[in-house]
Amino acid sequence: MATRILCFGDSNTWGFESGTGLRYDPSIRWPGVLQSLLGPAYTVVEEGLNGRTTVWEDPLMPGRNGKEYLLPCIESHRPFDLLVIALGTNDLKIKFSASPQDIARGIATLVKIVRAAATEWPGNAPRVLLIAPPPVGKLTEFSEMFAGAAEKSSRLSAWVERTAGELDCEFLDAASLIAADDRDGIHLNADAHKTLAEAVAQKILSLSSKDDKATALHPR
């Protein structure tokens, strides 16, 4: 059976293209690139949504609360071996007044939901990989929506890494690898999608090489 990887993210997982608002082709989106890099021994499931937050309700964008959608999502796609959570950028919107610590706590809430649900599933709980998003860049069309986000986003990865350590999750700092597209300061360009996919693939393969799937992709 192929190792199943569920990617739960926002518009940068969905594949929003800066400047056009269109969606990148699956061959460009980082989950799609990840699938091609890992090959048929793995199945990568895309669960990206524009505007998705960790735990916040957005009255102007209904259905974006990751906390509310996560449980039906994981029940729909189980069994899976690894959950990749790539969220946090939308939490930086000025309307939520969330600190980097608040955002990390929102991510922790999602991890706990998965772990609690998995106690009812046969087999082991899935491993969790937390991806800290790259900092917000120079804002153009989203400057009002994300006012003050650039400074807060520069401190987010440290809090996500701390959360990963506390909850025994894997961690990847996208901020050390890629930057937001200059066209809007929020989304990723095609090269960044490729770089991120390569880093995620390397992380997954390093886990698998340490041990067999049952121990490498599940909590010890």
Residues spanned by the domain of 96: 3-216
Domain count along the chain: 1
CA distances (Å), 58 to each of 8, 51, 74, 88, in order?
18, 9, 22, 14
Which pLDDT value is given to residue 210? 63
In what order do the strands lie in the sheet containing 3-9? 42-48, 3-9, 82-86, 127-132, 170-173
Which CATH number is 27's domain given? 3.40.50.1110
Which pLDDT value is given to residue 12? 98
CA distances (Å), 166 to each of 36, 160, 171, 179, 216, in order?
32, 10, 11, 27, 18
Could you tell me the pTM of the whole model? 0.94
In angstroms, rounded to a whole number, what is the distance separating the alpha carbons of residues 34 and 197?
Answer: 5
Which pLDDT value is given to residue 217? 53
Which pLDDT value is given to residue 148? 95
The parts of the chain modelled with pLDDT lower than 50 are 213-216, 218-220
pLDDT digit string, tens, across residues 20-37? 999 999 999 999 999 999
pLDDT digit string, tens, across residues 88-111? 999 999 999 999 999 999 999 999
Which pLDDT value is given to residue 211? 52
Which pLDDT value is given to residue 25? 98
